[in-house]
Amino acid sequence: FGGKKLTPPPPPKKKSRKRRESPDLKAALIVQRRWRCYTQRLVFRYFRDLIHFREQGDPAALLRSINPREAGLMDAAFA
């Protein structure tokens, strides 16, 4: 080639169209985001406390609190 470097053309510029959201839609999005955050924190705390209990507590009591029917089978197996 004649010593010229071939460079790709620049990407086309994106047209920025700002969507106009109604105040009700904005409020709904905020509430949904906050609700998801709240529920995720609850799930995190639940598992954090479960792990903490397991590190210090009795495993049989842990199983009884989660699934009493299975705990009964375990108690019968170790008796």
User: pLDDT digits over 10-68, tens only?
Assistant: 888 877 666 778 999 999 999 999 999 999 999 999 988 887 877 787 777 777 877 88
User: pTM of whole model > 0.75?
Assistant: no
Residue 2 pLDDT: 57
- Concatenate the DSSP letters of all residues of 34-78 into one string: HHHHHHHHHHHHHHHHHHHHHHHS-HHHHHHHH-HHHHHHHHHHH
Most confident residue range from 20-24, 70-74, 75-79:
20-24
* 77 vs 8: which has the higher pLDDT: 8
Using DSSP, state whether 21 is helix, strand or coil. Answer: coil
Residue 3 pLDDT: 64
